[in-house]
Amino acid sequence: MSAKKFKTYNNVVNTLLQIGELHEQIHTTSVGDIFDIDLEKNTLFPLLHINPVNISTGDTELIYNFQFFIMDLVSEKADWTKNNYETNFTKLYKTLSNEQDVFSETLQICTDFIAALRHSGLQSSKSDTYDINEPIYFTQDQFTIEPFTERFDSLACGWVWNMGIVTQNDFDSCNIPLSSTSNGAGY
C-alpha cells in the first residue's frame, strides 16, 4: 500500500464534516475548540461540533481522538398546558418546554453518527464497486454519550461523547523529507 493512501488529519476532519453535512437532521457543522461553538441566533440547529482532542499512535495506525457535540435549541411556550407526549401521564409534572424531545432527537443523531463510522465498509464503496484495500476509518470500543444543558442567549441541550477514529499508517521511514547531507545526526 502506498503512503499516498494513508489518511491525513485533513482527510479525517473533512470526512467527519461530510457525515454531518449529509445527515438530513443536522443543519450546521463546525470544528474547533469547544469555545468556538457558534450559538448565535442566526445559527441553524441541530448543530454538530467536532472538537479535536489528541492523536494516539499504534504499531500500524493513528487514532484521531475527538469530542463530538450534537445539540439543539429548547423552546418554551407559555401556552403549552400538557406534556408533549403521546401518553397521558397524570402525575408527571407539566413542563412548558420540549427539552425531552430535543434530548431524544439529538441522541438519535449521535447513534446515526457512530453507526456511520462503526460500519465503515460504507465509506469505501465507490459507486457499484467495493475495494477492500481502500483505506477507511474505523471506530473501536464502546462509547459513553453524556447529556448536557447550556444556557446562553437561549437554552441548548444535547449530547457529547469522545470517539477515536482509527486509520492505517505504516510510519514509513523511507519517505521522510530529510536532506541527504548529514550533520552528524547518525544518518
Report, as an integer, the average pLDDT of 112-136.
64
Residue 165's alpha-carbon distances to 38, 139, 171, in angstroms, are 24, 5, 17
> What would the pLDDT profile of 4-53 be if each residue is shown by its tens digit?
467 889 999 998 999 999 999 999 999 999 888 877 767 899 999 999 99
Report, as an integer, the average pLDDT of 164-180.
81
Structure-model confidence comparison of residues 70 and 82, the more confident one? 70
> What would the pLDDT profile of 87-117 be if each residue is shown by its tens digit?
566 666 666 788 889 999 999 999 999 988 8
> Which pLDDT does position 3 carry in this prediction?
42
Least confident window among 33-37, 55-59, 150-154, 164-168: 150-154
Phi, psi of 179 (to 5 degrees): -70, 155
What pTM was computed for the model?
0.80
Residue type, 59: D
* 166-177 exposure pattern, b = at least 16 Cβ within 10 A, e = fewer: bbbbeeeeeeee
3-76+99-172: CATH topology is STM4215-like (3.30.2000)
pLDDT at 181 over 90: no
